[in-house]
Structure 1
Amino acid sequence: MQRAVGKLALRVASDGRYGARLADLREQGSFRSIFPRPSGNSLDAVLLNTAGGVTGGDQFSIHADVEAGASLSLTTQAAERIYAAIGEEAGLVRNRATVAPEACLHWLPQETILFEGCNLDRRLDVDLAEGAGALILEPLVFGRGASGESIRNGALRDRVQITRVGSPIYLDGIQMSGDLTEQLDRSVIGGGARAMASLIYVGTDAEARLDPLRGLLPDTGGASMTRSDVLVMRLLAIDSYALRQTLLPILKLLTDDSIPKNWRL
């Protein structure tokens, strides 16, 4: 069976008072990108997976390099779908970003939806320079509840690491296998949730944003400071719709109302 491969590398540079500009772009295989007309000083990038999803044996990677003084907002055209794998081979996703001094990265992909039989091995590594800022979001959906879907057999390995000048400031990992729906029904894991999101905000104003953010969270979410400039949020939701309805005002708050247009559709 033919496997899908997609690689994308982009470099964003400061364009002085006019904001950011695309300095380099390389696309290979099933990854494409489009750049909507900017609405502010940030370069907006929308990623497209022309393979239509990820299955076992597929390999995808993104490398984003944000140079000093530049800003990049990166999202996906639609939710990413992780389909049933044939055999035990996982779909591999390896993403990384480097953010230079006085630069900022908004990593805001839309939901990743897991389907019955999925096998996903994904990793995101972000390295920040001193004085760099970031907003990192990873939303996950376990089947489409409205269609009565469940995941009785699946595997997920998902890791996010954020470093500053090479030293870790955030490390998180999820590893689940087998009957994912049954595991999420357990009160100590998901309490019946079918969607979740992790969000990390790094910036000198992080602490000032904590209380306004908490005011937007339901009982199934929480936020705290892990460092003086690092805010971390966790959120559980009954389905993808409830997750998105909670995330939209949060993103509006943390992006100063510059949410990617794809999130508003």
Structure 2
Amino acid sequence: MTAAAPATGGVAAQRARGRARLAARRRGAASVIGDLHMSGSSKLLFPRGLDALQAVYLNSSGGVTGGDAFEIAATAREGAHLALTTQAAERVYRALPGETGRVETRLQLEAGARLDWLPQETILFDGAALDRKLSVEMAPDARLLLCEPLIFGRAAMGESVTDLRHADRIDIMRDGRWIWADRLRLRGDAAAHLADPAVADGARAMATVVLAAPGAAAQVDPLREMLPESGGVSALGPDLLVLRMLAIDGFELRRHLCPILRRLSGAELPRPWMI
């Protein structure tokens, strides 16, 4: 679904809108769909899984640009296991001056539930403008695995991002209390910022991984053995682990991410994650 909006020169530009709402509930040993809604350019596909309910999100508009707006809400109900990914990397294209694409995601985990939020990479192109919010509310004994990978232009295509407006916000609340709040803001010449040795030393891809689960801190030492020199992991408490990683490009990022995510999930990754 698209909406017309005024653009420069009096030309009406088409803007994409999409909403997706999904809940997983427990039925016997399996997790199944408990609630489902899709509208506009947001689609959900459901490959056959085992115990977990797997969902693959698809943006049928082909990407995000200025003025687009997407909302995703996902709930893992009591005892259920929901795993979400995307069909492909999300592409964020050049925006018209003064316009920003917006993506808001809300995740909820009830008692004893598990939710794996594993979108593929978001690729930011030159001139992109994106404002994203990801908020999580979880029960004390729930298990959250969250991964957010970013790529700043495709190195293999010779792309450079010298004009960018990007903001990311991640908030995680457990039992009504904040346990993690993360903010990323990049404006202007992203390539120059990332080239700074004190920032990314020329890396063009990055990822944040969070494991909020009982006993999460026990994974720190094994993960340090798996990380490249450009990555780091810390336990912010016995039940909260945060990992950051930089890589020269998307392929190298995924090459290191996949075994880490397999370890933290305890299962094979959704098929779209195959290298």
TM-score bin, normalised by smaller chain? over 0.9
Asked if structure 1 preserves the Cα contact closer than 8 Å seen for 2:217 and 2:237, the reply is no
- Aligned partners of 1:195, 1:166: CA distance in 2, in Å? 33
- The correspondence for 1:180, drawn from 174, 185, 190, is 190
User: 1:216 and 2:259 equivalent?
Assistant: no
Structure 1 position 213, deviation (Å): 1.1
- The correspondence for 1:11, drawn from 16, 23, 27, is 23
Where structure 1 has 5 or more consecutive residues not aligned to the other structure, the ranges are: none
Partner of 2:259: helix, strand, or coil?
helix
Structure 1 position 142, deviation (Å): 0.1
- Aligned partners of 1:200, 1:48: CA distance in 2, in Å? 23
User: 1:262 and 2:240 equivalent?
Assistant: no
- The correspondence for 1:21, drawn from 14, 21, 32, is 32
Partner of 2:15: helix, strand, or coil?
coil
Aligned sequence identity (%):
45
Corresponding position of 2:42? 31
- Aligned partners of 1:207, 1:154: CA distance in 2, in Å? 35
Cα deviation, 1:141-189, whole Å, max 9, x if unaligned, reads 0000111100111110001111012211011010110000000001111
Corresponding position of 1:72? 82
Structure 1 position 237, deviation (Å): 0.4
Corresponding position of 1:54? 64
Structure 1 position 56, deviation (Å): 0.1
- Aligned partners of 2:167, 2:34: CA distance in 1, in Å? 33
- Aligned partners of 2:220, 2:83: CA distance in 1, in Å? 21
Structure 1 position 83, deviation (Å): 0.2
Partner of 1:243: helix, strand, or coil?
helix
TM-score, reference length from structure 2? 0.94
- Aligned partners of 1:257, 1:209: CA distance in 2, in Å? 15
Asked if structure 1 preserves the Cα contact closer than 8 Å seen for 2:215 and 2:238, the reply is no
User: 1:152 and 2:181 equivalent?
Assistant: no
Cα deviation, 1:60-112, whole Å, max 9, x if unaligned, reads 01000110000000000000000000122110000001100100000000000
- The correspondence for 2:106, drawn from 96, 103, 126, is 96
- Aligned partners of 2:98, 2:58: CA distance in 1, in Å? 26
- Aligned partners of 2:234, 2:222: CA distance in 1, in Å? 12
TM-score, reference length from structure 1? 0.98
Kindly report which structure 2 residues correspond to 1:243-258, keeping only aligned pairs within 5 A, or say none.
243-258=253-268
Partner amino acid for 1:27? Answer: M
Kindly report which structure 2 residues correspond to 1:228-247, keeping only aligned pairs within 5 A, or say none.
228-247=238-257
Cα deviation, 1:173-232, whole Å, max 9, x if unaligned, reads 101100000000011111101000000001123122111111110000000100111010
Structural RMSD (CA) = 0.8
- Aligned partners of 2:75, 2:175: CA distance in 1, in Å? 14
After the TM superposition, which parts of structure 1 deviate over 2 Å for at least 4 consecutive aligned residues?
none
